[in-house]
Chains A and B, each alone.
Chain A
């Protein structure tokens, strides 16, 4: 009996060892990708900050400022850009963001632009209207794609196909915590700053054209920023999940080793007892 169970335990230890190797490797890959993703976030930030700044300044400094992008309408239909991952094994990363998105969408007239394979699967399974499937692979979405999405969405907004546009993404709070969040894109909210009156700026051809032109870039930037943030979160979540899995595997290996040694000891003791019993006769 002891012999069979010893072999079983040994096999289980071996399989745990290989699982541990896999999770360890995934953790390291996620950690290195995380570093790259963080750099990307840091690099892209000034671009969007300057654009947003300029938009704000234009809206502030122009009297009777009005743009179709600022128009608040009664909400008949909303559009959500939901950014998820392409793969699982990242802890609650996908689940959290989908749960939030679904709670916003459920029971309302809404459509989604899913980014990420898991995301597309989730919304397709629930029968939510999907605007486009062209960006289903989050890993392949480039800056240019973000601008294309933004253009498409702002066109839809102006054509009154939907009355609000929001992005549902995951905020990278820290290495250990990532929280899902919603960012409202359209209609654009701007924050008037009193006392910031610089009316001497020359806008060419005029401030409205400048505003309506760079808003596309800004919106594309919002999506890109949210995407970068989500990708960073995904790697962070995966790193944490895989770290936990590696630790679990280690724990199981150590408890199995203990069992194995006990079984070995038991077998030896039994053998000795048998030998001694034989010698006595």
Chain B
């Protein structure tokens, strides 16, 4: 059984069509959504999203920030960043990781900058992890 899935980002529509299953990481942890899910809303954390399309093929992506909403059986994933594994720029993620690590290692960092750098590091690591299993 399939459901209608829409994935939107500020850069445009990343996916629209029928899907069998989607699993994403919310701020509470990993969840999987199948057809006929109850109406549901949760903010997204940083992690991997796996979409199983109508033919049972799996596609993986880095999915960061935003929210997932189920309404009347339609699933909408509204993500700040959503990159399919094959579109991830590994070099950029590695460079970002290094930059973030340098900032974190700096002495006398205030809390705000530390948090920003940690978030950057986290994003870079998520991207790399999704790309690695390609």
- Which of A's residues lie within 8 Å of B, judged by CB? 43-44, 46-48, 50-51, 54, 58, 143, 147-148, 198, 200-205, 209-210, 213-214, 217, 220-221, 224
Contact = CB atoms under 8 A, between A and B. Distances in A.
B8 A203 contact: no
Contacts of A221: 10
- What are the nearest 7 A-B pairs in CB distance? A43-B12, A213-B43, A201-B39, A204-B42, A44-B10, A202-B40, A47-B8
B26 A143 contact: no
A204 B78 contact: no
Residue of B28, B42, B69, B78 ringed by the most chain A CB atoms within 10 A: B78
B95 interface: no
B80 A210 contact: no
Contacts of A58: 41
A15 to B, nearest CB: 44
Contacts of B67: 51, 54, 210, 213-214, 217
A203 B42 contact: yes
Contact of A54 (B28, B38, B69, B116): B69
B41 A54 contact: yes
Interface of B: 8-13, 26-28, 38-43, 65-67, 69, 71, 76, 78, 80, 116
Given A210-B41, A214-B67, A204 B8 contact: no
Contacts of B26: 204
Contact of A143 (B10, B28, B40, B116): B10
A205 B41 contact: no
A217 B80 contact: yes
Contact of B76 (A50, A147, A198): A50
A227 to B, nearest CB: 11
A174 to B, nearest CB: 23
B11 A198 contact: no
A52 to B, nearest CB: 11
A231 to B, nearest CB: 14
A145 to B, nearest CB: 12
Contact of A214 (B10, B28, B43): B43
B41 A224 contact: no
Nearest to A50: B78
A198 B12 contact: no
A54 B39 CA distance: 12
A58 B69 CA distance: 12
A204 B28 CA distance: 8
Nearest to A49: B8
A46 B41 CA distance: 17
Nearest to B45: A213
A205 B39 contact: no
Given A47-B78, A51-B78, A201 B66 contact: no
7 contacts: A43-B10, A47-B8, A51-B78, A54-B78, A210-B67, A214-B43, A217-B80
Contact of B27 (A48, A54, A143, A213): A213
B77 to A, nearest CB: 10
A46 B8 contact: yes
A43 B27 CA distance: 26
Residue of A46, A148, A200 ringed by the most chain B CB atoms within 10 A: A46
Given A44-B12, A58-B41, 18 more contacts: A50-B8, A54-B69, A54-B78, A143-B11, A147-B65, A200-B39, A201-B40, A203-B40, A204-B26, A205-B27, A205-B28, A205-B42, A209-B27, A214-B43, A214-B67, A217-B65, A217-B80, A221-B10
